[in-house]
């Protein structure tokens, strides 16, 4: 029996639903005319304990499933020949592992951070639900199952964006919902055609197009694939439908921003990989207008995202624009369709998840302890919160791509893969844009480090306000991973290279 692989899907899902319908309540009091959340500390402690136990067990089960051999299970049949079907393969295994690590670290951080946000029962209920949906997405064995849980990831993660209930949060959540659903419907349009022209909707490395069925219908199939790339690219923040990211991140609680930016955007990346490398195949797309348009959109997003981040003064919004740029590094690597570029894309998928989690959790710690949200307010923050700023510094160096941090490894493979590819002018334009983006990344991340640690003469602090250990420890662990994976990248590079070769 391999049905046990469903445990990391259903355990957090059921626990999240139970938490949402439980009788735990937070009470509103008023101090000086302002609403203040008053919680029963004993009950709140039990809420945290329940969440921690459920998520820890779920993560252990997910890792055991991911590290086991290939396993499959059919949940039910949506139609006669279309099951809701789960299968563990290499790409799903990668996503499940880094998702689990980030989700668990951000959860323990959130136990402290959410004290000033309130409505913790609702937050952690949806937090568990989303984790279950992400595990289902990672373990999806066919395109319809992937689409089904892709939509559920959107629906269950939206409440984390609108958590504080302000008008700005509600509008951002609606924008996230509408953009994501529009993208999903564009993906669904492609699925209809892939169902017609593929031998199976199950994920087959190299693709499952039937040449006889495709013959004479290449144009409509290319249009369908382009629709899928743009549609699933919405979740990944690719132009032109990237606007939900800078709208959602500033209003969402920092732990939600961290997982949105580090993990949930990778749902779009995973879906693109499934369509291109498991359904259509690179041979069908290589040299077509679809590949060209995809590379143009990806590189344009890399450059524009970096430029907008450089100009942005609100810290979390700056990091959101950074995500827009950095995830399109991955999309460009996928569009080059060479083993080296694919290796770089897979590596950057993992590294970016850890890096951006650290950056957003650092931003949350600054907001939590200092109440500062704008870049110009962080002068001297290194004197007040040195541990937090060091974590931010390590992640910044990794995102810029300064060796030996992890980002250098993935960007090296992305540039090398582009130079090896037969993609015309993009062979040189791609690495050039990546280099310009790296310089802009340094320009919008490092000034905070410099002014934070070296505020200049006359700067004084009354007391240190370092983040609580429950926030700082998860932050430090993930920050250490951003460096460690760059210092000892060998096994991961070998693993990713083997996957890339199998998918070409």
Is 54 in contact with 43 (CB distance < 8 Å)? no
Q: What's the structural domain count of the chain? A: 1
Residue 408: pLDDT over 90: yes
Residues 6+ apart with CB under 8 A from 301: 237, 238, 239, 242, 324, 325, 328, 331
Mean pLDDT of 325-339: 95
Is 366 in contact with 392 (CB distance < 8 Å)? no
Mean pLDDT of 414-432: 93
Is 54 in contact with 11 (CB distance < 8 Å)? yes
Mean pLDDT of 49-64: 94
Provide the residue range defining the domain that includes 447: 286-504
Exposure of 25 by Cβ count < 10 A (0-12 exposed, 13-18 middle, 19+ buried)?
Answer: exposed
Task: Tell whether 436 is covered by a domain.
Answer: yes
- The DSSP 8-state label assigned to residue 199 in this structure reads S
CA 282, 287, 291, 295 torsion-angle sign:
positive
Is 253 in contact with 163 (CB distance < 8 Å)? yes
Measured in degrees and rounded to the nearest 5, phi and psi for residue 217 equal: -120, 20
Is 136 in contact with 149 (CB distance < 8 Å)? yes
- How do residues 93-102 score in pLDDT, each as one tens digit? 999 999 999 9
Among 299-313, 367-381, 419-433, the range scoring the smallest mean pLDDT is 367-381
Is 128 in contact with 116 (CB distance < 8 Å)? no
Task: Tell whether 424 is covered by a domain.
Answer: yes
- How do residues 214-241 score in pLDDT, each as one tens digit? 988 999 999 999 999 999 999 998 988 8
Residues 6+ apart with CB under 8 A from 110: 123, 124, 127, 253, 255
Percent of the chain exceeding pLDDT 70 equals 95
Is 294 in contact with 235 (CB distance < 8 Å)? no
Task: Tell whether 72 is covered by a domain.
Answer: no
Task: Tell whether 221 is covered by a domain.
Answer: no
Is the preceding peptide bond at 404 cis, omega within 30 degrees of 0?
Answer: yes
What pTM was estimated for this model as a whole?
0.92
Distance CA 252, CA 370 (A): 18
The residues with which 76 forms a beta bridge, in sequence order, are 84
Amino acid 4: pLDDT? 76
Highest mean pLDDT among 56-70, 165-179, 332-346: 332-346
- CA 478 to chain centroid, in Å, comes to 15
Highest mean pLDDT among 215-219, 302-306, 381-385: 302-306
Task: Tell whether 40 is covered by a domain.
Answer: no
Task: Tell whether 38 is covered by a domain.
Answer: no
Residue 28: pLDDT over 80: no
Mean pLDDT score of the chain:
90
Mean pLDDT of 411-434: 94
- The DSSP 8-state label assigned to residue 241 in this structure reads S
Task: Tell whether 29 is covered by a domain.
Answer: no
Mean pLDDT of 409-430: 94
Amino acid 116: pLDDT? 78
Amino acid 118: pLDDT? 77
Residues 6+ apart with CB under 8 A from 423: 291, 295, 336, 430
Is 312 in contact with 244 (CB distance < 8 Å)? no
Amino acid 463: pLDDT? 74
Mean pLDDT of 478-495: 94
Task: Tell whether 480 is covered by a domain.
Answer: yes
């Amino acid at each position: 029996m391999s049905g046990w692989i469903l445990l990391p899907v259903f355990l957090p899902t059921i626990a999240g639903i139970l938490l949402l319908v439980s009788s735990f309540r937070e009470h509103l009091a008023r101090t000086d005319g302002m609403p203040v959340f008053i919680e029963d500390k004993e009950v709140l402690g039990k809420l945290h304990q329940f969440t921690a136990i459920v998520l820890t067990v779920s993560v252990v089960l997910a890792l055991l499933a991911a590290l086991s051999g290939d396993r499959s299970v059919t949940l039910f049949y949506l139609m006669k020949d279309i099951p809701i079907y789960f299968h563990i393969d290499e790409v799903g295994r990668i996503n499940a592992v880094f998702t689990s690590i980030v989700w668990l670290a951000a959860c323990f951080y959130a136990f402290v951070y959410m004290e000033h946000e309130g409505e913790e029962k609702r937050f952690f209920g949806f937090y568990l639900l989303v984790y279950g949906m992400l595990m289902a997405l990672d373990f999806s064995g066919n395109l319809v199952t992937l689409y089904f849980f892709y939509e559920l990831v959107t629906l269950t993660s939206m409440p984390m964006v609108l958590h504080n209930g302000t008008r700005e949060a509600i509008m951002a959540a609606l924008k996230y919902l509408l953009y994501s659903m529009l993208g999903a419907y564009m993906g669904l349009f492609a699925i209809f055609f892939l169902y017609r022209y593929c031998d199976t909707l199950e994920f087959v490395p190299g693709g499952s197009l039937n040449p006889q069925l495709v013959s004479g219908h290449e144009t409509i199939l290319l249009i369908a694939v382009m629709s899928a790339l743009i549609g699933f690219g919405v979740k990944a923040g690719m132009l032109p439908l990237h606007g939900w990211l800078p709208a959602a991140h500033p209003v969402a609680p920092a732990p939600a921003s961290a997982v949105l930016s580090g993990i949930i955007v990778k749902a779009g990346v995973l879906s693109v990989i499934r369509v291109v490398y498991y359904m259509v195949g690179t041979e069908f797309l290589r040299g077509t207008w679809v590949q060209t348009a995809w590379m143009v959109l990806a590189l344009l997003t890399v450059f524009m995202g970096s430029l907008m981040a450089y100009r942005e003064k609100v810290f979390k919004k700056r990091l959101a624009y950074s995500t827009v740029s950095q995830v399109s590094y991955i999309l460009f690597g996928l569009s080059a369709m060479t083993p080296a570029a694919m290796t770089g894309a897979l590596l950057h998928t993992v590294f970016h998840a850890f890096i951006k989690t650290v950056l957003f959790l650092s931003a949350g710690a600054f907001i939590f302890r200092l109440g500062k949200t704008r870049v110009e307010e962080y002068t001297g923050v290194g004197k007040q919160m040195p541990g937090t700023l060091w974590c931010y510094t390590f992640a910044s160096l990794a995102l810029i791509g300064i060796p030996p941090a992890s980002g250098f490894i993935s960007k090296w493979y992305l540039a090398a893969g582009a130079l090896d590819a037969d993609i015309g002018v993009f062979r040189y334009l791609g690495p050039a844009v990546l280099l310009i983006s790296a310089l802009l990344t340094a320009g919008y991340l490092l000034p905070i480090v410099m002014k934070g640690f070296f505020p200049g003469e006359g700067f004084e602090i009354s007391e240190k306000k370092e983040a609580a250990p429950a926030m700082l420890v998860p932050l430090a662990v993930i920050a250490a991973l951003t460096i460690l994976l760059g210092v000892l990248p060998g096994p991961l590079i070998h693993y990713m290279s083997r996957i890339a070769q199998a998918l070409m």
